[in-house]
Structure 1
Amino acid sequence: MTKTREHWLGYLMGALDENEQASVERQIAQDPRSAEEIEQLRTHLNLLSDGLDEAAPPVGLATRTCALLDNPGLFAEVLDPSVPDNEDAPTLKEKQPFETIGGGNPNFTMMDMMVAIGACVAAVAIFFPALASSRMLATRLQCENNLHQVGMALQEFATGNAEKRYPAVAATGPLSVAGSYAPRLLNAGHLQHPEVVRCVESTRNLSQPHELPTVEQLLEAPESEVEKLQQGLATVYNYNLGNLRNGQLQAPLMRGRALYPVASDIVVVQDGQISPQGHQDGRFNILFDDGHVEFISLEDLPNSMKHYFLNDKGQVAAGVDEDDAVIANGIAHPFSEETTSEVPASSAK
C-alpha cells in the first residue's frame, strides 16, 4: 500500500526538512506509481510557473515620474486641456484602424486575420487542457484531504468508547442509513465543518444540494419528513454499513487494518454494476482502517476487493461477519430487501 501523499508538494517546492525529504525519496524509489504521480504533480506546478517572468520597466521611468511630481505646474499642464499647445511640439499622427497590427500598413489582409485566429486557437488548445488537468488535480487533493479529516474524526470517535468501534448505523429508524455517521461526528464535536463530509465533485452538478440534517432533526422529525431529510445524506462520503454477529447489527471495529475500508468517495451499485461518481477519470478516494487514503480505480482492485461494495452474499447490505466490509452510499440501509425479514427484534433498538 502506498503511503499518504501529504508531503509531495513540499518536496517539489523544496520546503521539507532533511528527514521528510529522505522519506519522500524512499517512497519514490520503492513505489513506481508514487513516482509517476509526483512527476504529474511536478508538471502541473511547472505549468503554473510558466510566464511569470517580470517585464523590465521602461528606462528612466522612475526619474521622469519624480520630475513630474516635483513640478506641480507641469503636472497641471498635462491635466488642463485649456493650456495652449506648443507650436514647436511634434503633432501626433492620426492612427488608422489595424495600423499597429499591420506594421504601419492600414490594409489588414485576410492572411493577417488567419494568422491571428490561428494563434488564438493554438493558445486555447494549449491553455485549456492544462487548466482542466490542474483543476482535476486540485479537486482530487481537496477530496483526499477531506477524507483524511473524516478518518481522524472516526478514529477519535472509536477511541472514545470501550469497544473501539466506529459510529453504528441503526437497524431501523431515522438513523438507519449509512450517511448517519456524518451528523453524529458533527454532533459529537469530532468535526467542525459540515462541508468536510462531502467531496466537492459530488455536488458540482447539483443546482441546490440538500442541506445536511442534524441528529436532532432526524430524530424529532415526523415520520413523513424523515426520508426527505435523509436525502441530505446522499452526497456524503460512502460509509461502512457494519456487520452481523449472532444476527445482530454491529458497528465496524477499529483495528488498524490496511485492507479494511471504512469510507470512500461516492460509489453507487445499481443492477450489479459498481459506478464511482464525481471524479471525471472514474477513480475514487478510499479510506482504510489504518487511516491511509488511496486514489484508485476499480481496475486496480483485485476481484476479492471489489466486495468492498457488496457483502459475501452479493448484496449492498451489512457484512455477514466482522471481516466482511461493505461501504455504501449515504442513503443505503444496512439490510437489503431480501434480508429485512431476517432482522431480529433485538437488533432494531
Structure 2
Amino acid sequence: MYEDLLGYLLGALEPDEMQRVSQWLKDNPEGQRQLEVLRKQLEPLDEGFEAVEPPPPDLLDRTLDALPSGAPPDPELNDLSGNPLDALDPILETQSGSVTPASRMADAVASRGNDFRQKRWNLYDCVVGLVSVAVLLAVLLALLLPAIAAGRFEARRMQCADQLRELGSALTLFASSDPKSQFPAVADSGPEAFAGVYRLRLEDRGLIPADLSVYCPSTDSSQQFASYPKSSLPSSHGAVGAESVPAVPADLTAADLSVPFDTFDLPTVDQLRSLTVDQLKWVQRVSGGDFAYSLGVMNSSGYSAPKFEGRQHFAILADAPLTSTLPANGSAHLLLPHGDRGINVLYEDGRVEFVLHALLGTMDDHPFLNHEGRHEAGVTVDDASLSRSPRAPFVDAVQR
C-alpha cells in the first residue's frame, strides 16, 4: 500500500485508483497516519530544490561566431569535389547571403546526418539496437515487478483485514445483544455443528451488510470447491431452503464454479434441518467462506460459545488455512493464504494483526489448535481455537 500512497501523494495514479485510495483513507486512520509520514519525508526534497537557470538565448550564435572559419575534412564527404564545405553550396546559392550561422549549422548537420544514416545503418546496427532495448526492458521489469507484486500482496491482505474488521463489528453487536454476552454458538452436534454457522446466525439478525464478502481475494475459492460432488451443489443464485433445489447439470466443470460463492442464497438456521444430506454438507462447507471462526470453549458448566470480554489476545476470527487438516505441531506443512506468508487474525478487542507463518507455531495460544494440541474446541475459557467452515467443535460430532 506504500506505493499507492506515494502515487496518491504525487498525483501519479489513474483517476479510479486515486478515488479508491481516497475512499480507503477516509475510513482508515492508520493509512492517514502513513500518508502524513510520507508527506513529511518528501518535504526536504521540495525545500532543497533549486531551479536551474535556462541558457542565454544568444548562446548558439555566440558559439558559432567563436568557431574558426572552415571545417575539418570529413571522410564521409570526400566524394564532394574534395572540399567538405561544398555540401553547403546549394544553401548559400539559394539564399544569397541571408543565411544565419544557426541555419547554416542546422542544414549542414541535417545533410550530413541523412548521408550518414544511408551509409551506416545496416542489419548489425538494427540487431544491436534491438538487443539494447530488450536489455533495458528486462532491467526495468526486474526493478518494477517486485514492487508491483508487493503492492498487490499488500492490497489483498488489507482487503481481507478490512473484511475481518467488518465481521468483527457484526460479531460484537451480536454478543452485545445476547443475554449471556456470547458470540454466535456452534452446536456440539447436529446440523448446526459447524464453524460457518456464525454467518447464518449473523444474517438471521440482519448484521451482515449486503455488500460484505466472506471470500478473501488471495484465495481462489472456486478451486477449493471444484472437486465437491456436483449433485450436491445448488444452481447459480438458487435458494437453498425448505423447497427442493434444482439439480446441477451433470457436465458442470470447475470453470462453471467461478461465480463467487457468497452470491448463493443461504438458508436460515431453522431451515438447516429441512435440507437433504448433500445440501447440508454444501452449506456447511461454504457458509464461513475463507475465514475461520471459533469452535467454542469448555467452561465449568461444559461446552459453550465464547463470552465477549474484549480480550486483546483471544482470537475470534482469522483467515482460514488452505489445508483441510492440521498437523499436530500446528505449523509444519500448514498451507496459508497470502502466498503462504501468514494470516490476518481478528482478536476480541477488534484488533487485526498479520501473523507470519514462521511465528505461528511460537504463539502462546495457537489460533487453530487448543491447548492440548488438537483441532477442536478450546479446553478453557481463554483457549481460542478457530477452524474453517465445515469443521465441528469435536472430532466425533455428528453433523446431521
Q: How does 1:226-237 map to 2 (within 5 A)?
A: 226-233=280-287, 235-237=289-291
Aligned to 1:215: 268
Instruction: Please give the per-residue CA displacement for 1:191-233, whole angstroms capped at 9, x wherever unaligned.
Output: 1136432322123673535455332553431234211222213
Aligned residue pairs total 256
Query: Partner residue of 2:174?
Result: 157
Q: Does 1:250 align with 2:304?
A: yes
> SS of 2:209's equivalent?
coil
Q: Does 1:322 align with 2:375?
A: no
Amino acid at match of 1:215: T
**Shift of the alpha carbon at 1:234?**
5.8
Q: Would the alpha carbon gap of residues 303 and 13 (structure 1) be closer, same or farther in structure 2, given more than 3 Å must change?
A: closer
Instruction: Pick the aligned partner of 1:241 from 262, 283, 295.
Output: 295
Percent identity at matched positions?
Answer: 25
Pair 1:192–1:219, CA change in 2 (3 A): farther
Aligned ranges for residues 62-73 of structure 1 at < 5 Å?
Answer: none
Which moves more between the two structures, 130-139 or 268-277?
268-277
AA in 2 matched with 1:260: F
Partner of 2:190: 173
- For 2:318, which of 264, 273, 284 is the aligned residue? 264
- 2:31 is matched with 9
Deviation at 1:162, TM superposition (A): 1.7
Q: Residue by residue, what CA displacement relative to the aligned partner does 1:290-321 show, whole Å, maximum 9, x if unpaired?
A: 11110112433573525331123321111122
Aligned residue for 2:303, secondary structure, equals strand
Q: Measured at CA, do residues 304 and 294 of structure 1 come closer, stay the same or move farther in structure 2, by a change above 3 Å? A: closer
**Residue in 1 aligned with 2:102?**
none
- Matched ranges for 1:1-349 at <5 A: 6-14=28-36, 107=122, 108-193=125-210, 195-203=212-220, 206=223, 208=257, 210-211=261-262, 213-215=266-268, 218-233=272-287, 235-245=289-299, 248-267=302-321, 268=323, 269-272=325-328, 273-274=330-331, 275-301=334-360, 303=362, 305-337=364-396, 340=397
Query: What is the deviation of 1:120?
Result: 1.6
The CA distance in 1 between the partners of 2:34 and 2:299, in whole Å, is 48
Q: Is the 8 A contact 1:147 1:196 kept in 2?
A: no
1:335–1:218 distance in 2 versus 1, CA, 3 Å:
same
Instruction: Please say if residues 149 and 196 of structure 1, whose CA atoms lie closer than 8 Å, have aligned partners that are also in contact.
Output: no
CA distance in structure 1 between the partners assigned to 2:174 and 2:117 by the alignment: 71
- Structure 1 counterpart of 2:153, which letter? M
Runs of 4+ in 1 over 4 A off after TM superposition: 102-106, 209-212
SS at match of 1:215: coil
Give the aligned residue type for 2:30: W
Q: Provide the alpha-carbon RMSD of the alignment.
A: 3.2
- CA gap of 1:13–1:328, structure 2 versus 1, over 3 A, is same
CA apart distance, 1:336: 1.4
Q: How far off is 1:246 after superposition? A: 5.0
1:174 CA displacement: 2.1
Rg: which structure is higher?
Answer: 2
CA distance in structure 2 between the partners assigned to 1:185 and 1:194 by the alignment: 14
3-state SS of 1:141 partner: helix
Distance 1:139 1:103 in 2: 52
**5+ residue gaps, structure 2:** 1-26, 43-112, 224-254
Q: Judge conservation of contact 2:346–2:352 (CA < 8 Å) in 1.
A: yes
